Amino acid sequence: MKILVVDDFSTMRRIVRNLLVELGFTNTLIQEAEDGNAALMMLRAQPFDLVVTDWNMPNMTGIELLRAIRADAALKSMPVLMVTAENNRDQIIAAAQSGVNGYVVKPFTAVTLKEKLDKIFERLAAAAG
């Protein structure tokens, strides 16, 4: 499995990475990108199974990245978990409309992250089934 963690703040990328490892994603290659542009380049260069992206980033924000992923024929089914600082309805709805699979509000624990990921994978499984 391959997960791409996108955040401009490297501390935050490390936190997300640590939490994923804590959740047992040990056989997982976790890669990092520092903004949407970099993420998109990586996504186009190699296959990933999941994107965990921050919302608020310079150059290309999380929502812009999400829209770019959904607009890319090769990437549009990529599951995307959005990390936000605010549990804001307008933002979440906008993200959902743009095709986000899940969201998680900072700060979060490994348990919360797991719940969010489980929900995403449940939905994926349901869709596949």
Partner 1 sequence: MSVELDNELLNVFLIEARELLESLGEQLVDLEASPGDAELLNAVFRAFHTVKGGAGFLGLNAMVELCHRAEDLLNEARNGAVVLNPGFMDALLESLDLLNDMMRAADAGVPAEPAPRSVLDRLLIPGRTGSAPPVALSPATTSAPAVSAPSSPRAYDPIEDEFEAMLDAARNDRAPTSAPSGTINDDEFEALLDSLYGTGAPGAEAVPVGAASAAIPAAATPVAPAADPNAISDDEFEALLDSLHGTAVPGAISVGADSSAIPAAATPPVATAPIVETKTSKPAPAAKPAAATEKRTSSTADTTVRVDTFRLDSLVDAAGELVLVRNRLTNLAPRGTNDPMERAIGELERVAEDLQNAVLRMRMQPVGKLFSRFPRIIRDLARQLGKDIELITEGEDTDIDRTVVEALADPLVHLLRNSVDHGIEMPDVRERAGKSRSGTVRLSAGQFGDRIVITVTDDGKGMDPEMLRRKAVEKGLMDEEQAARLDERECFDIVFRPGFSTAAEVSDISGRGVGMDVVKTKIVELGGTLSIDSRVGHGSTVRLSVPLTLAIMRVLMVRVGNRLLSLPLSNVTEVFELVPGQIQELDGRIVAAHRQRALPLADLGNWAGAAGKGGHVVVVQIGHQTLGCLVDEVLGREDVMAKPLGPFLKDVPGVAGATITGDGRISLVLDLAGLADDAGQVLPSLRMAV
Q: How far is the first Cα of the chain from the last one, in angstroms, to the nearest whole number?
A: 20
Rg for the chain (alpha carbons), in Å?
Answer: 13
Q: Is 103 in the site for partner 1 (CB under 8 A)?
A: yes
Q: Is 108 in the site for partner 1 (CB under 8 A)?
A: yes
Provide, rounded to whole angstroms, the least separation between the CB of residue 44 and partner 1.
15
Q: Is 45 in the site for partner 1 (CB under 8 A)?
A: no
Give the integer Cα–Cα distance in Å for 90 and 94. Answer: 6
Q: Is 8 in the site for partner 1 (CB under 8 A)?
A: yes
Q: Is 77 in the site for partner 1 (CB under 8 A)?
A: yes
Q: Which of 19, 20, 52, 68 binds partner 1 (CB under 8 A)?
A: 19
* Segment interacting with partner 1, rule: CB under 8 A, options 24-32, 40-48, 120-128: 120-128
Point out which residues bind partner 1 (CB under 8 A).
Answer: 8-12, 14-15, 18-19, 34-35, 37-38, 55-59, 61-64, 67, 69-71, 75-80, 85-94, 96-103, 105-109, 111-112, 115-116, 119, 123-124, 126-127
